Amino acid sequence: METSRYRGAGKASADPSLNGALPADRLGRHLHDLRISVTDRCNFRCVYCMPKEVFGPGFRFLPKEEILTFEEILRLTRVFVCLGVEKARITGGEPLLRRNLETLVRMLSGIPGIGDLTMTTNASLLPGRAHALRDAGLRRITVSLDALDDDVFRAMSSVEVPVRRVLDGIRDAEAAGLVPVKVNMVVKRGVNEDQILKMAEYFRGTGHILRFIEFMDVGNSNGWRMDEVVSAREIRDHVAARWPLEPVEANYRGEVADRYRYADGGGEIGIIGSVTLPFCGDCNRARLTADGEFFTCLFAGKGHSLRSLLRDNRSDDEIAEHVRGIWAGRRDRYSELRSEATVALPRVEMSRIGG
């Protein structure tokens, strides 16, 4: 049985024995958020993430034995919490495809020191499950939705799921108290920019927070081109021309969305300018793939296997030391350095790393 000081020790900052354990990376950034991908599979084939031409019937997804068990995810998350993580987000692929996800949510929400536990989902499998997720300890939810018109939604997601189903998921999340719901809309020029105002209008006054996201060059599959990015400024100006906007202060350091409120009291929106307004200087996120690879940047070419340490019977202390060393050496700032040359580099796919 583990007797490690990392096991169940609670938030690192609250544990004097761990003082000095919090790693700052080479650019002075502290670890705060953990994204946990629970599967690399998805029931959608969004053009900007898992284009069906690449993620077709012959695509090799992770076999079951390579995927972390719930116990392994719990153990790693505890280690990360002891190293300073206060916020965890469950993601994928599509996290709701992972069987018994509520059980994992319950396990993670019981970790002392987890201040916030959230999930990002396409919501197609959410109707009927939101209450159970909330009961298990999920605090909030982010739903991805790129269009209100079914034909545009189909052009983005490449599936026959009606928009209504996603909206039902949002409604259930609201009824379960997973509020405010954040709604992520990736904007791709030539495909869905005509949905910007429709989406803004639909979510105005609902209390939900619509967040527009610039189309990013994650992975090497989505055929990314700069001229298909609708910039944060363009999005803001477009919305503001219809409903005047006022900037809102960030909630906390490291918040990726620039926040705005409608001047007429219609609520709040966010704009994530990952490409044109990089925020690497405040990047405090660690990412764990479903097969236990630890990534320090969304655009990294390779990760660091923590599963091999787990399955090699290493102690929590040893795993923590390993993570600390990786974080201490971290100097990622891909978005600040983005160029034609970086775009050609190999990068992990979004469906593996989870956004």
Out of 18, 37, 44, 239, which residue is the one contacting ligand SF4 (CB under 6 A)?
Answer: 44
User: In the window 297-326, what residues touch ligand SF4 (CB under 6 A)?
Assistant: 297-299
Q: Is 124 in the site for ligand SAM (CB under 6 A)?
A: no
Q: Is 94 in the site for ligand SAM (CB under 6 A)?
A: yes
Size of site (CB under 6 A) for ligand SAM: 21
Q: Is 49 in the site for ligand SAM (CB under 6 A)?
A: yes
> For residues 312 and 318, what is the distance between their CA atoms, to the nearest angstrom?
11
Give the shortest CB-44-to-ligand SF4 separation in angstroms: 4
Residue 139 binds which one of ligand SAM, ligand SF4, none, with CB within 5 to 8 A depending on kind?
none
Out of 39, 91, 192, 221, which residue is the one contacting ligand SAM (CB under 6 A)?
Answer: 91
User: In the window 134-153, what residues touch ligand SAM (CB under 6 A)?
Assistant: 144
Q: How many whole angstroms from its chain centre is CA 124?
A: 17
Give the shortest CB-247-to-ligand SAM separation in angstroms: 22
The two most distant CA atoms of the chain are separated, in Å, by: 62
Give the shortest CB-279-to-ligand SF4 separation in angstroms: 5
The residue ranges that bind ligand SAM (CB under 6 A) are 42, 48-49, 91-92, 94, 120-122, 144, 184, 186, 213, 215-216, 218, 222, 350-351, 354-355
The residue ranges that bind ligand SF4 (CB under 6 A) are 42, 44-46, 49-50, 92-94, 122, 144, 279-280, 283, 297-299, 332-335, 350-351
